[in-house]
Structure 1
Amino acid sequence: MLKRIKKSIYHWITNNRNNRIGKLLYSFSSTINEALENKNNDFNTNGEKWLIDSLDANQSLIVFDVGANIGDWTKLVHHKNCQAQIHSFEPIPTIFERLANNTKEIVQIKINNLALGEFSGIIQMNYYPQAPIFSSFYNHPLGKNMGKVTSVEVMTGDEYCQINHIEYIDFLKIDVEGFESKVLLGFDKMFSEQRIRMIQFEYGDLVLKTGFLLKDFYEFFEKNNYKVGKLFPRFIEFGDYNYKKENFLPSNFVAVSNSEFAL
């Protein structure tokens, strides 16, 4: 009887030790994989600043910041190119107020209290006061039960460009927590006429809620004669779509029109 008890205790200790080791190894390998896949929200180190630094500082660029939040990325672009005309979009009223205050002295920045999408009208959005960066048209898993539903104005990119007499966009940045595909579809005319030179968009696990996977992003851009690549800290890895890229880890991709890519 005593031997059986000792044997059970030994197996329990061994199994739990193996579980702890397994969990540690899994956590370590996951961390390494996320680093290799550039899962990083800090635009100073994840390649976004590097991409901004690559812009021509002497050219009067047209830049769209869709999902501007409080305007840190917008101001980074302005710091690089003070001649750039920047159109920033933030639909949540309370966040928009901070964006307005943060950019009020920069006349080259036009702020818009609206979202861009595939249609024009009013739409319901989830706002997370305790974690506003996760505010989304979808239930963000990191927002949990902290959300408040608010009505926001939405407009297609094509309509906005028509109203504001914008003939082309040099750099379209989209960071809208899963709504990226809707923003792209709203620029149908601009894309079909290749009047957007470069696009940066975010990809992550929220695509599971939209059903618009990385494969669909690649197909959308390839149909419109753009090349797509993943953004890393100091380079963009261009290449064809591969199912192994469909890892749902939050990261940024860049699409460049074939005409620009050939230069």
Structure 2
Amino acid sequence: MTADAMQRAARRAAGRSVTVLCSVVGRRQVVRVARFVLHRSRLDLPNDPRTNGEYALQGWVLTALPATTPLTVMDVGAHVGAWSQNLLALAGSSAPRLDLHAFEPSRHTHRLLAVNLPETARVNRLAVTDRAGDVALHTIGRVAGRNSLLPQRTTSAQVEQVGATTIDDYLAQQDIEHVDLMKIDAEGHDCRVLRGAERSFERRAVSIAQFEYNHRWVHGRCFLKDVFDLLSPLDYRIGKLTPRGVEWYPAWDPDLETFVEGNYLACTPELARRLPGIRWWKEGTPSCTSA
């Protein structure tokens, strides 16, 4: 029997086994278990910054860059400031070298953010997108983490008019030459935030941009392919953040468009070489072990 014939026979046997399993425990349970196995093997972990690699990335960046170098950091979609607070705690005695700019458009959430961050931080009550002006923030609660510039799928959502800027405009207005680390958590609007930084990426004014990708991108009519199309020609490397390192991708691939929640990076090649990396599952047989 040839290798192809053996593979076809194995698939037929696996298919029969799944059919039997579905009849015994029900399709719902089989799908849920299969989804868990798929997500786990792809390192699509629950959205907890302590375990999904977000806080680990902060440490990797602080280690990769010289301790004496001032760092400019942008927290876009800062909410109440947990990400920025963790970064400041990791920096410890060297925290004064951080020039921190945080953005939160919601009136109530911005008030809490301003209380939670030190006076040295620039706390902006602004939305960040791909155009400047006034925009509608759709809120489902005073400090809800899912408030977004995208319309909410609930009749109880309210609209708050807020000011908006772009990364390009903000850097020009604040006379900021370079951003070492930018974190974006814009509840499905992340792709538009990146588009609003195109001129900054063109002049390599951003070393690393972390952005969240999830099912809300569907409502925003955006794909990871849009990020690759925007940044790959500018020689940025793109990968998924995991607790063990960054899963770098050589190019966009249809298998990446899962709309499963995760954090991704766009990074200059120089800094990418200093970050821990892991092989993509399509390029080898990396271990499924995760932190």
> What TM-score results when the alignment is normalised by the length of structure 1?
0.87
Matches within 5 A, 1:26-105: 26-37=31-42, 38-56=44-62, 58=67, 59-81=69-91, 82=95, 83-103=97-117
Partner residue, 1:111: 123
Q: Distance in 1 between matches of 2:152 and 2:268?
A: 31
RMSD between aligned residues: 1.9
Greater C-alpha radius of gyration: 1
**Which is worse superposed, 43-52 or 132-141?**
132-141
Q: Distance in 1 between matches of 2:122 and 2:216?
A: 29
SS at structure 1 position matched to 2:265: strand
Once the two structures are aligned, what percentage of the paired residues are identical?
25
| 1:10-50 per-position Cα deviation (integer Å, ceiling 9, x unaligned) | xxxxx9x8274321111111122233342421101000011
Q: Distance in 2 between matches of 1:88 and 1:222?
A: 27
Structure 1 contact 64–88 (Cα < 8 Å) conserved = yes
Partner residue, 2:214: 204
Q: Distance in 1 between matches of 2:216 and 2:235?
A: 26
Q: 1:89 to 1:131 in 2, by over 3 A?
A: closer
Q: 1:217 to 1:199 in 2, by over 3 A?
A: same
Partner residue, 2:230: 220
> What TM-score results when the alignment is normalised by the length of structure 2?
0.79
1:190 aligned onto 2:200: yes
Q: How many residues align?
A: 244
1:172 aligned onto 2:182: yes
Partner residue, 1:255: 266
**Which is worse superposed, 164-173 or 32-41?**
32-41
Q: Specify the code of the residue in structure 2 equivalent to 1:94.
A: H
- Residue 254 of structure 2, aligned match among 217, 225, 243: 243
- Residue 23 of structure 2, aligned match among 10, 18, 23: 18
Structure 1 contact 130–146 (Cα < 8 Å) conserved = no
SS at structure 2 position matched to 1:126: strand
SS at structure 1 position matched to 2:151: coil
SS at structure 2 position matched to 1:218: helix
Shift of 1:134: 0.8
1:137 aligned onto 2:142: no
**Which is worse superposed, 85-94 or 17-26?**
17-26
Shift of 1:181: 1.5
Structure 2: which 5+ runs fail to align? 1-19, 275-291
SS at structure 1 position matched to 2:85: helix
Q: Distance in 2 between matches of 1:148 and 1:35?
A: 36
Q: Distance in 2 between matches of 1:70 and 1:19?
A: 47
Structure 2 contact 108–142 (Cα < 8 Å) conserved = no
